[in-house]
Amino acid sequence: MNLMLWLRRLGCWLAGGIFLYAGIPKALDPLAFAGSVAAYELLPYAANLVVAATLPWVEIVAGIFLVVGWRVRPALLVLILLDLAFMAAIVSAQLRGLTIDCGCFRPGAGDSDLITALLRDLLLLGLLLATWWLLRRESASPPPEVRP
């Protein structure tokens, strides 16, 4: 086992764990999360509810795939796109002068302002991209020689 393989696995476990940690509390309280989504004032009323009912489960499914190491590349792609969407929503809220909680982890927790949330999402994006790069490097390298 080489270092790069373990680094890639560590990246998958860490990123998967973060999205599970973020997704489970929101999946358990979809109404409160709908309030957090609505606070961004980006979607109509019913769409906020549908997003709140489904988005945490996409995070959870992709997070599980990363942790167990199955379909890692598509799971990474989904989470990278989600992270970019979160960052776009946060930037949009910041530009419109909204003073809201990001709703990233526990809904309505009020534990982070938008700038902190944006920086956290940037770090998470870095982790996802680094894991993606390690995975590419792993699949591009030739298989180890088998000694007779």
Partner 1 sequence: MSPLAAATRRLLRDALFIVLGGVLIGLVFNGRMVVEQIVGPTPVAPPPELTETVETEAVLYPFPVSFDEMQELVAAGTLILDARPIELYREGHLPAARALPLDEAAEGVARLLQEEARDETVVVYCSGFGCPDSFDLAQQLLKAGFVDVRVFEGGFPQWRDAGLPIRRGEGE
Residues that bind partner 1 (CB under 8 A): 27, 29-32, 34-35, 38, 44-46, 48-50, 52-62, 65, 71, 73-75, 77-78, 107-108
Identify which of residues 48 and 118 has a Cβ nearer to partner 1 in the complex. Answer: 48
Identify which of residues 44 and 148 has a Cβ nearer to partner 1 in the complex. Answer: 44
What are all long-range contacts of 137-143, with beta carbons under 8 Å and residues at least 24 apart? 137/4, 138/4, 138/5, 138/8
User: Taking the complex as a whole, how short is the minimal distance between the CB of residue 117 and partner 1, in angstroms?
Assistant: 20
User: Taking the complex as a whole, how short is the minimal distance between the CB of residue 18 and partner 1, in angstroms?
Assistant: 16
Identify which of residues 2 and 136 has a Cβ nearer to partner 1 in the complex. Answer: 136
Identify which of residues 75 and 118 has a Cβ nearer to partner 1 in the complex. Answer: 75
User: Taking the complex as a whole, how short is the minimal distance between the CB of residue 10 and partner 1, in angstroms?
Assistant: 21
Closest to 71 (Cα-Cα) out of 130, 12, 2: 12
User: Taking the complex as a whole, how short is the minimal distance between the CB of residue 147 and partner 1, in angstroms?
Assistant: 29
Residue that has been written with the tokens 């606070």 in this structure:
39
Alpha helices in 1-148 (DSSP H): 3-28, 30-39, 45-68, 72-95, 114-140
Say which residues have a Cβ less than 8 Å from residue 89's Cβ, sequence separation at least 6.
40, 42
